[in-house]
Chain A
Amino acid sequence: MITWEVFGAWLSAAMVVWIYSFAYRDNALYKLAEHMFVGTAAGYSIALALDSLNRVVVAPAVRSPETFWAASWHYVIPVVLGVLMFAKYSRKYYWLARYAVAVNIAVGSGLALRTAPIANIVRQVTATILPLWGSDPVKVLNNWILVLVTLGGLTYFLFTIFPRRVEGARPSPAYWVYRSLYYIGIYGMMVGFGALFANTIMTRVGFLISIYLIYIQPEAWASIVAAVLAAVAIILGILRKR
């Protein structure tokens, strides 16, 4: 018997194949799946945001107004600011939305700046001040690499004052230090980007594997439907190319 759950599993298996069919060529089924996904995601986000508003503000205010106004009256402020955002759609009152945006940005910046200098700058800088001599050669080598690549990366992005080579004159020691760090920076970043790209492949393949782990089960009909759809998408892709 086809229940809603079975139907949902079939639909999601089909949607997975339709989305992956883009790897071969853009097609109507891919577009259908893409639009369904975007529409569902947008609708779902709005529903959840409204549900959150209802759970936190509306329902408590209606259920027990005395408690709400005594303990949680300040929830009304963000609600009013949120409503002001909709003033953007009025030509006459659009300026009211600026107050909501201003408060949002000010609160966000204030909260982030309170700890960002320590969390994102001081702690990161102190983490690169490492001992460059010691008894453990592997640790010493790691520390050297970390320090040099950090300095190299920073040197690469020096765009204002840096030692230049004067035509005909012998380059200064500062110039050689700068050039060495510059190239260490380039290669360090290349290694970093390489690691990032390798991790990207791992994540994408991981997504594919997890989808198949869920839907490719020998006893599940959904897997057969998905396999047939995949075969059709591949064959159509090859035929259309010819």
Chain B
Amino acid sequence: MSEMSALRSLEKVLGSKELLYTLLLLSVILPILHPLGIPVEISKRTLDVYEYVDKKLPPGCHVYIEVYYEVAARGELEPNLIALTKHLFDKGCKIVYGSLSAFGVVAFSLFKTMAADLFEDKVYGRDYVYLGYIAGSEAATASLARSIRGTISVDNYGNRLEDLPLMREVDKATDFDLVIIVSSGTDVFAYYVRQWHTPYGVPLLFAALSVIGPSIEPFVGAGQAIGMLVGQRSAAEYEVLVGRLGLGIASMDAQSTSHMLIVAFIAIGNAIYWSKRVSSQRGGSK
């Protein structure tokens, strides 16, 4: 019985959520202050996306990027957006950004602040445009696919779209070589699949939160998107590929240590559970 009581005390100590949260906090903070430099391998999925952008998109291509995430999701999605923007700008591509979410405006503003170096030699209106918040969810997505200028007449800053050189080059879905959806919600991916890819055949690329990855995987599997970047891990890999290390790669040590901690706790919890079970069976047979 002493074996059983020892296991119960151990379970009580390890089962305390204060201990788990404190250890989790330390496992996140310490690698940030003292990076461990755990190597990051490039997955085939990220490499496929990189090679598509690098080889299949012509120089000077036109890309539409949907910025659809709130500030809380910045850590997972912003590094992806920055790395993709760098890659596209390096290829001389022109980018039209838009947001079907009101919070996309804040997300875009923070993204521009964090990636100020990418926009230094770019001219607003010629190399990139931000359309701002466009109300209307799926109806707006369908309308944008038919005509951007027919849907909205001004950009986020009140400039008339007709006055912006880039917006005279592109107007409808088929004018774009690639559409990238950077989203923290699941629905918006389906909007673009239904309203841009299915009727017009525009290639889509997804950048999603890790938690959303499995939900949108069927679209990628069915060939409705050319690929997807999922969470900080993909961002870290893409940062390595484009040679601009940022938040994605910086978070990888903390991701690894915190996951190791969680796996250790799951293993210990299972070990205690089975030990208690074996111990109680022994006690019962006596």
The chain A residues found within 8 Å of chain B, CB to CB, are 23-24, 44-45, 48-49, 51-53, 55-56, 59-60, 71-72, 107-108, 111-112, 114-116, 118-120, 123-124, 126-127, 192, 195-196, 199-203, 205-213, 216, 218, 230, 234, 237-238, 241
Contact = CB atoms under 8 A, between A and B. Distances in A.
Contacts of A237: 18
Interface of B: 17-18, 21-22, 24-25, 28-29, 32-33, 72-76, 102-103, 105-106, 132-135, 137-139, 142, 152-154, 156, 158, 190, 193-195, 197-199, 209-215, 218, 221-224, 230-233, 247, 250-251, 254-255, 258-259, 262
6 contacts: A44-B102, A52-B134, A56-B153, A108-B138, A202-B231, A210-B75
A120 B76 contact: no
Contact of A203 (B24, B211, B254): B211
Given A200-B211, A201-B262, A209-B75, A120 B133 contact: no
A196 B209 CA distance: 11
A206 B251 contact: yes
Contacts of B28: 205, 208-209, 212
A48 B139 contact: no
A56 B76 contact: no
Contact of A52 (B135, B211, B223): B135
B76 A206 contact: yes
A192 B214 contact: yes
B222 A126 contact: yes
B232 A55 contact: no
Main secondary structure of the interface of A (DSSP, over half): helix
> Which 6 pairs of residues, A with B, have the shortest CB-CB distance?
A210-B75, A127-B222, A202-B210, A48-B102, A203-B211, A115-B198
Contact of B25 (A56, A199, A230): A230
A99 B190 CA distance: 27
